[in-house]
Amino acid sequence: MKATKPRRAQASSEPTIWKVILRASARVGIVTGYHHLRTSGVGRAAALETVSGARRVSIATIERYLARVEGKPEHAWLHLLADDYIGRTAQAEMSAEGWESLKADYLRPERPTAGACIVRLRERARRRTWILPSNRTLERRLKALPRAGRKS
């Protein structure tokens, strides 16, 4: 039996839940290290300097993390230190008729290129009152269509 290499996940601009958890875990480690030093009798400034040097994080960043968890139970720190940013959720406006026309053209058995389909769509849109986003946005949306929709 042939051994197969594990497939690498495709790079994404949006953070996956695992990336968020890993970053939050690292932040919990920073905060925990600071609190450990403080409970061992190290002064505030010295503890900040030590953790900053060991973790290669600025003192201002550590102070932000500390402010997030101040007065909160330790079991909640992972959630409190997770990123709030989830990526862009807004979509450029586009007429439904224009999108259906573009999909119908792109998914034809002749398999035209996305660029050619967009050029034809823009010609049709001039005669109508369709609202269309940029060509790059249209290409991204076409690439997001399931491959099964495109006949071989």
9-23 tens-digit pLDDT: 444 445 578 888 899
CA distances from 1 to 4, 7, 8 (A): 9, 18, 21
- Which residues, other chains included, contact 8 with Cβ-Cβ below 8 Å and sequence gap of 6+? none
Q: Is the pLDDT of residue 8 over 60?
A: no
Q: Is the pLDDT of residue 31 over 70?
A: yes
Q: How many helices (H) and strands (E) does the chain have?
A: 7, 0
Question: What CA–CA distance (Å, rounded) separates 1 from 62?
Answer: 51
102-138 tens-digit pLDDT: 999 999 999 899 999 999 999 999 999 899 999 999 9
Q: Is the pLDDT of residue 1 over 80?
A: no
What's the residue count for the chain?
A: 152
- Which residues, other chains included, contact 73 with Cβ-Cβ below 8 Å and sequence gap of 6+? none
Q: Which residue has the higher pLDDT, 84 or 149?
A: 84
- The CA dihedral of 41, 45, 48, 49, to the nearest 10 degrees, is -110
> Domain limits of the chain?
17-80, 96-149
Domain 17-80 class, CATH top level: mainly alpha
Claim: this prediction has a pTM higher than 0.85: no
Q: Is-same-fold flag (17-80; 96-149)?
A: yes
Domain 96-149 class, CATH top level: mainly alpha
- Which residues, other chains included, contact 125 with Cβ-Cβ below 8 Å and sequence gap of 6+? 95, 98, 132
Place of tokens 């939050």: 24
Question: What CA–CA distance (Å, rounded) separates 61 from 59?
Answer: 5
70-79 tens-digit pLDDT: 999 999 999 9
Q: What pLDDT score does 91 carry?
A: 80
Q: What is the helix (H) or strand (E) element at residue 141, kind and residue range?
A: helix 135-143
